[in-house]
Amino acid sequence: MTTAAEKVQARITGTGSYLPEKILTNADLEKIVDTNDEWIVSRTGMKERRIASDDETNSYMGTEAAKVALKEASLSVDDIDLILFATVTPDYMFPSTACLVQKNLKATNAAAFDMQATCSGYIYALATAKAYIESGLYRNILVIASDKLSSFIDYSDRSTCILFGDGAASCVVSGSGKGLLISNAALGADGSLSDIIKVPAGGSRKPASIETVEAKEHYIKMEGREVYKHAVRRMEAASLESLRQVGITESDISYLIPHQANLRIIEGLAKRFQIGKEKVYVTIHKYGNTSASSCGIALHELMNEKKLDLGKRILLVAFGSGLTWGASVLTVTDK
């Protein structure tokens, strides 16, 4: 019988990310849509975003991010038992993008499946990996969150085309080793608000047709004001619940990594928590909103830029279509 002292605790032992080389600046957008740099920066905080080429498929980006995480975790693909791929922009409806990554990596020992929680995907995937690891079902899980949102953007719609970019994040979640303990995960959803961010066509409810293509229903549609209103409130609630579960307060957090959707949302959340700007890790000016990979890309950059002492805590929090939201406290550990 397992004692409390022997209980397995899931932790991130390696992180990774991948960002396409092509940069789409605000100046570039000025040439294709009625907007300007001052308008974009003042309302979103974004200055540029990365755009994947035709060859940089979602599975390719996820694979490259996974290679970095595996190297940081000092594991081979043969050590991986499961691949979780969080995305809203799969290469195909089926097979799963996780299976394509398994093929790319030659990770023949791993089960593989996709999961969809939009911009909350990284945190939902961490929660799922934590449950699998701590149940004893798997030893090492490769978590990938990746989206090629440029494939679903209408570049004549200035309300959405300025917001999104492409990118991938990954991490290895294991039951032992130094890294970041996944101390908890507080998840939530509200399907009654599913219409405020969506791609209307392309699923089984409204399959692709000449009419759906002509109506541009395969692109992201968003009610910006409604999104903003719910985003701050839901992320605040998830963060408070996450802190409550761990038994700490916001003063115990060394860094806050919020979903990089809009700088105003990030600043609003930090203000409610009374967290100083120096503790809020921001990448939105460089990459825009990369959906599921947003928090993971920021976490990888933070871990490679900062030296965090044992016991330091990072709070991840995200919000996305669905609606979905989630938060998780990560704690630096050496065992």
**Domain closes at, from 142, 157, 177:** 177
Angle at 327 between CA 126 and CA 11, to 5 degrees: 35
Under-50 pLDDT residues of the chain: 1-4
Residues spanned by the domain of 126: 4-177
Do 132 and 250 share a domain, yes or no? no
Active-site option among 259, 262, 295, 300: 259
Catalytic residue among 26, 58, 262, 289: 289
Contacts of 304 (CB under 8 A, 6+ apart): none
Alpha carbon distance, N-terminus to C-terminus of the chain: 22
pLDDT digits (tens, 9 = 90+) for 144-183: 999 999 999 999 999 999 999 999 999 999 999 999 999 9
65 and 199 inside one domain: no
Any idea what the CATH number is for the domain that residue 223 is in? 3.40.47.10
For the chain, the domain total comes to: 2
How many other CB atoms are there within 10 angstroms of residue 151's CB atom? 15
One domain, residues 224 and 297: yes
Do 106 and 192 fall into the same domain?
Answer: no
What would you report as the CA-atom Rg of the chain, rounded to the nearest whole angstrom?
Answer: 19
243 and 133 share one domain:
no
17 lies in the same domain as 105: yes
Q: What are the tokens at 315?
A: 């709070």
**Same structural domain for residues 169 and 206?**
no
Residue 287 contacts by C-beta under 8 Å, 6 or more apart in sequence? 19, 48, 49, 50, 165, 167, 260, 294, 297
The pTM for the full model equals: 0.97
Active-site residue among 119, 161, 171, 295?
Answer: 119
119 is catalytic: yes
- Model confidence pLDDT, tens digit, residues 102-125: 999 999 999 999 999 999 999 999
Q: Spell out the residues 6+ positions from residue 230 whose beta carbon is closer than 8 angstroms to its own.
A: 193, 196, 319, 323
